[in-house]
Amino acid sequence: MTDNPRGQTWRLLVTEPVDGATNMAIDEALSRGRRAGTAPPTLRFFAWDPPTVSLGFGQPLGRDVDLGACRELGVGLVRRPTGGSAIYHDGPERELTYSVVASAEDLGGVAGLLETYHWIGRALLAGLRSLGAPAEMVAVAGGEEPTPAFCFARTGSYEIEVDGKKLVGSAQRRRGSTFLQHGSVLLGVHEARLRVLFPTTADPLATLTTLEVALGHRPKFDDVAAALTTAFETEHGLTLRPDGLTADETSLAGRLVEEKYATAEWLTGPA
C-alpha cells in the first residue's frame, strides 16, 4: 500500500455545534467541492446541538430508533449520506464527531474502502493512544451476520476498541475516487438515553466503551481534537491548516438543508 505524499496540506475545520441537518449538509458541501476540485481535502471535527440520532443512509426509519422518545427528550433525528447504523450524538461534552473528505490521490493512491478505513484508523489510533487510551485497531472483521441497528453493537474492520469494546464507530460514502467518512469518538455516554432510544438493541452498553472509562476521566472535546489533529499530521506527513467554510460552501450547505436534509422525504429514506 502506498502512503500519503509527505508535506501535503489539508484543511482543518472545527465547527460550532449545530443541528443534524446542518452538519450533514456541511459534509456534503465539502464532498461536492472535493469531487469538483474546488475544495481541498478536509479533516473536520464537530458536535451536535441539539443531541441527535443519525441514521445510516439505507437504515429504515421507525424500526430501530424510538421516534417518540426522540420527541419527548428533544433529540434530533437526521439521515446521514454515509452508510452504517444509527448513532446517538450527545453533544460536545460526551462525543466528538470527525469527518474526512478526500480522494484516493490525496491519500497517495489509497483507493479501496478498507484501505481508506485503515489509513484513517491509523491516525485515530495514534491520537487516542497519545491521550493515554490503551486502544487497539481491529483487523478485517469477519462474519455474515446482519448489520445491527446500533452502530456500537459491533466493531467493523479497522475500527477502534479498548479492552474488546468499541470506542469509535465510522461509516463511509464513495463517489468515484472521492469519499466522505464519518466517525464518532465516545468521550462519555448517557446510559439512560441509549437504553430508551434503541429499543431493539438488547443492551446498547454491553459492547461499547468511552474515553472516560479508558482514561479514568472524561477528556474535553478540544483536547481530543488537538490530539487527533497532531496524529493525522505525524502519521501521514500532513500539514493541517485551520480554516473555515468558504462563502460558496456555506451557501450550498444552506440549500442542502432546505432541499434535502431537513425534509421528511430524506428522513423517511428508501422504501
Q: Residue 188's Cα: distance from chain center in Å?
A: 16
Q: How many CB atoms lie within 10 A of CB 85?
A: 23
Q: Which domain holds residue 242?
A: 9-268
Could you give the angle at the alpha carbon of 106 between the alpha carbons of 105 and 108, nearest 5°?
60
Q: Domain with 169 in it: what CATH number?
A: 3.30.930.10
- How does strand 52-55 pair with strand 76-79? parallel
Note the pLDDT of residue 144. Answer: 55
Note the pLDDT of residue 5. Answer: 52
The total number of structural domains in the chain stands at 1
Q: Is 122 helix (H, G, I), strand (E, B) or coil?
A: helix
Q: Is 3 helix (H, G, I), strand (E, B) or coil?
A: coil
In a domain? residue 3: no
In a domain? residue 4: no
Direct distance between the N- and C-terminal alpha carbons of the chain, in angstroms, rounded to an integer: 39
At 243, give phi and psi (nearest 5°).
Answer: -160, 175
Round the CA-based radius of gyration of the chain to a whole number and report it. Answer: 17
- Name residues whose C-beta falls within 8 Å of residue 228's C-beta, 6 or more positions apart in sequence: 45, 96, 98, 123, 124, 127, 128, 185
Burial (CB count within 10 angstroms: exposed 0-12, middle 13-18, buried 19+), residue 269: middle
* 151 assigned to active site: yes
Q: Is 136 helix (H, G, I), strand (E, B) or coil?
A: strand
Nearest CA to 107 out of 8, 173, 34, 36 is that of 8
Kindly give the confidence (pLDDT) of every residue in the chain, 271 residues in length, as a single tens digit, with 9 standing for 90 and above: 345 455 789 999 999 999 999 999 999 999 999 999 999 999 999 999 999 999 999 998 988 899 999 999 999 999 999 998 999 999 999 999 999 999 999 998 887 889 999 999 999 999 999 999 999 999 876 655 677 889 998 888 899 999 999 999 999 999 988 999 999 999 999 999 999 999 989 899 999 999 999 999 999 999 999 999 999 999 999 999 999 999 999 999 999 999 999 999 999 987 5
In a domain? residue 229: yes
- How does strand 42-46 pair with strand 95-103? antiparallel
pTM (two decimals):
0.94
Q: Residue 205's Cα: distance from chain center in Å?
A: 19
Bridge partners, residue 150, by sequence? 86
Note the pLDDT of residue 176. Answer: 87
In a domain? residue 1: no
Catalytic pick from 133, 135, 149, 151?
Answer: 151
In a domain? residue 2: no
The set of cell numbers assigned to 50 is 441539539
Ranges assigned E (strand) in the chain? 9-14, 42-46, 52-55, 76-79, 87-89, 95-103, 135-137, 160-162, 165-175, 178-186, 239-242
